[in-house]
Amino acid sequence: MIAYAAYLLPILGLVSACVVLVSAERLGERVSGISVGFSLAIFVLALGLFIEQVALGHGQLATLGISLFSLYVDSLSALMALAVSTISLIVHLYSRRYMRDDPAYTRFFVLLDAINAMIMLMVLAGDLLTLLLAWHSIGIILYFLLNHDTRREAANRYAFWTLITHRIGDLPLMAAAALLYYSYGTLSIPVIFDAIAADPSRTSVFGLPITETVGMLVLLAAFAKSAQFPFHTWLPYTMEGPTPVSALMHAGIVNSGGFLINRFAPVFVQTDSVLQIALLIGLVTAIMGSVMMLMQSDIKKALGYSTMGQMGYMVMECGLGAFSLAIFHLIAHGVFKATLFLDSGSLIARARKDPNLPEGEIYKFMVERKAPKPPLSWVVFAGITIAVPLAIVVAAHQVVDEGFLSHQGAIILLLFGWITGAQTLFFVYKIGGEQPFKLLGYVILSFALVILTYVLVGHTIDTLLYPDPAFREALYRAASLPAPLFTLLMLVLVTLIAAGWLLVFWSTARQEPLTRRYRDLYLAIYALMSREFYIADLYGRLAGSMLARSRRLNALMRWV
């Protein structure tokens, strides 16, 4: 059975870590070849597992006769295992040369193999204890990887910060597991989901509704691991760790929140208001991460805040009921962000050798800050900017799935696609140029191809992960707002966005930037964002206050 073959994925990772450890003294730096070989074998097995699972079409549970270490292989776990093994193999290959002169070369590969094994165990876990074990172990091993260079004080401090945040995130997941076991008397994840589907209105301790309570606890655990507001502060400050660790963390570990929410989709489908909380927190996180990314001069820290924004968008997709789209997002972002991290060092090196950029319209705008006056009327370009992206995103979804626009979550996602496309076309207008229509045509064509591909792949993954159309509809219903409230909200948002674009175009055409007109407000917002909304300062003060109180208590009780 393919479910039992899945045991090889975490086992091979642990075996690789042990073999590298015992062979280090004899082989030296050649032990990295062992680690890469095992990673390649894991990738091949994960690929075969995914192909077999797609052909099979339904999930399978494999047990060892005990309540611990059971594995559940379905489309979600097989797809995630393939994605993790792919990124892990790339990181292993990159690390062979990047970490070559590091004195802790062997320890790095041991930890890399161990965390890869724990990620595999997490995505394949078939019972709550195995899930908790893997979830907790990932945070522990990540602490040692981030604190790889123990001589760096900043690395030690922020690795510990990450460890504490992840331990806080462990608590709600432990509570959810305890509550589910108390209510259903089993640790098996698929058995629990079947019981919830049979009796969704069941209550537990203190008369709490089981689905609402467990859903909220799972969300809290996902928020901490995926750097959602207000648990986000650990992520941008972990750049002191080695670049391969950053690539693996931003491409795999921080995405585990999205996986956890999808794993508990049968719980969320029975909730009434929990997903709206995910939407709100994800939206706030996406905006904060995207804005603070623009404030950074350090490329790795900018990538960290970019990941925060993307994770916010991923959680927001779950909050809209688009669970499978969140999985597609986290896989695409994982590959993209891993590439950026692994290439960041060489990019900086190339920039130092040749800092000159090819001159042109974009060069003049970005470097020399010279923007020619746009040759077209701002009214015409504003109309194109507002109308064309909206038409593209609506048409793409209608071509792929005619019923997609009947979901509230889908309409909100279209709204974000519209904003993204409008921002791209506005940049074309802002840089001007002698052939604006030619550049505009290229941008519109590229945007249309990206949107169509995104929608097509997203729909394919949707039918792969959740083949039951009724279940997909139920997820969207669980995330829906009351119809009158949603209609009012959309009218207000569309009006504000369109008015905002018209104001921006008008001020640009008059060559009178809004930042100049509202200078005091702009500086106040800039100061707030440069201090990262003072959230890290607040946590620092709270930590200092707790330490001061503990010292006074120690002196009072004569403990020290």
DSSP of 272-338: SSHHHHHHHHHHHHHHHHHHHHTT-SSHHHHHHHHHHHHHHHHHHHHHTT-HHHHHHHHHHHHHHHH
- Give the tokens for residue 192: 């629990």
Tell me the sheet residues that pair with 73: 60
Instruction: Note whether 183 and 212 are within 8 A (CB).
Output: no
Report CA-CA distances (Å) from 234 to 29, 86, 162, 302, 304. 32, 26, 5, 14, 10
**What H or E segment, with its residue span, contains residue 348?**
helix 323-353
| Closest to 118 (Cα-Cα) out of 10, 245, 256, 263 | 10
Under DSSP, the state recorded for 73 is E
What is the structure's pLDDT at 436?
A: 65
Domain ranges of the chain: 1-126, 151-344, 365-509, 513-560
What is the structure's pLDDT at 475?
A: 85
What is the structure's pLDDT at 434?
A: 59
| Closest to 17 (Cα-Cα) out of 124, 125, 107, 135 | 107
Output the pTM of the full model.
0.84
CA-based torsion, 455, 229, 75, 2: positive or negative: positive
Instruction: Note whether 187 and 181 are within 8 A (CB).
Output: yes
What is the structure's pLDDT at 433?
A: 56
Alpha carbons 189 and 465: distance in angstroms, whole number: 17
**Cα angle, residue 189 at apex, residues 188 and 194 outer, rounded to 5°:** 100
**What H or E segment, with its residue span, contains residue 61?**
strand 60-62
Alpha carbons 560 and 549: distance in angstroms, whole number: 14
Tell me the average confidence (pLDDT) per consecutive run of 10 residues in the chain, 560 residues long.
81 91 80 88 92 85 81 90 90 85 84 91 92 91 84 80 87 92 89 88 81 92 88 79 78 84 91 87 85 75 81 86 84 81 68 57 50 59 73 71 65 70 68 65 75 77 85 83 76 76 70 68 77 78 83 78
Alpha carbons 327 and 334: distance in angstroms, whole number: 10
**What H or E segment, with its residue span, contains residue 72?**
strand 71-73
- Residues in the chain, total: 560
- Give the tokens for residue 118: 């724990």
What is the structure's pLDDT at 128?
A: 92
Residue 188 half-sphere exposure toward CB, CA atoms < 13 A: 15
Under DSSP, the state recorded for 62 is E
What is the structure's pLDDT at 293?
A: 80
